[in-house]
Amino acid sequence: MLRIALAGIVLVSLGSAARADDFEDCNGQRGEAALAACDRIITNGGSSREQRGAAHINRGQHLYESQKYDRAIEDFTAAIALKPKRLAMAYSNRGNAYFMTGDDKAAIENYTRAVDVDSDYAAAYTARGLLYEKSGNLKKARADYDAALEADATFGDTKWAQDTARAAVKRLKGE
């Protein structure tokens, strides 16, 4: 009888444990499957701090893409608390989510933190530059666009950031 009860406990606990393919699914999949994989990594006691931080960033991105900005902000905030390797990305993504909620001040603060962590994060410079331009602070906008254009490619969104910055510089010059 005790053996059967213990077997039931083991089966229940295995149901929520991270699986070997959860890391790939959390990072590369979309929709409910990705969210479930990220959830398992985050709640699994065997996942490292780095793995949980990455899972929060990925789940936050999935929530952002689903326009669940407040929940995305919560995940990016949790990731930041864990200080993952992709800390600059967590700040920048949280800035994007704040931007979508209309909180430009919080967005700028997060983009600033992103470039403080990684001075080559072109997307954070460009996004912050767009907000500075929107507010009429063209000097700061131009400085951010220039920084984006000088940044080394460190993230997948660098091409977007540099193309957008290049177009913004032309727009500011009146070309």
Residue spans per domain, the chain: 18-85, 104-175
Residues 147, 125 contacting (CB under 8 angstroms):
yes
Query: Tens of pLDDT along 87-130?
Result: 999 999 999 999 999 999 999 999 999 999 999 999 999 999 99
The pLDDT of residue 12 is above 80: no
Per-residue confidence band for 28, with pLDDT thresholds at 50, 70 and 90:
confident
The pLDDT of residue 76 is above 80: yes
Cβ-in-10-Å burial (0-12, 13-18, 19+) of 103 comes to middle
Question: What is the model's pLDDT at position 9?
Answer: 29
Per-residue confidence band for 13, with pLDDT thresholds at 50, 70 and 90:
very low
Q: What percent of the chain has pLDDT over 90?
A: 69
Cα(61)–Cα(73) distance, rounded to whole angstroms? 9
Question: Hey, do 18-85 and 104-175 end up sharing a CATH topology, with the first three levels equal?
Answer: yes
**Which one is the CATH code of 104-175: 2.70.240.10, 1.10.40.30, 1.25.40.10, 1.50.10.20?**
1.25.40.10
Question: What is the model's pLDDT at position 5?
Answer: 32
For 30, list phi and psi in degrees, rounded to 5.
Answer: -130, 165
Fold for 18-85, please state it: 1.25.40
Per-residue confidence band for 69, with pLDDT thresholds at 50, 70 and 90:
very high
Question: What is the model's pLDDT at position 22?
Answer: 86
DSSP state of 156: T
Query: Tens of pLDDT along 96-106?
Result: 999 999 999 99
The structure tokens listed for 63 are: 């929530």
Q: Which of 38-52, 75-89, 126-140 has the lowest mean pLDDT?
A: 38-52
Long-range contacts of 165-168 (CB under 8 A, 24+ apart): 165/122, 165/125, 165/126, 165/129, 168/126, 168/129, 168/130, 168/133, 168/141
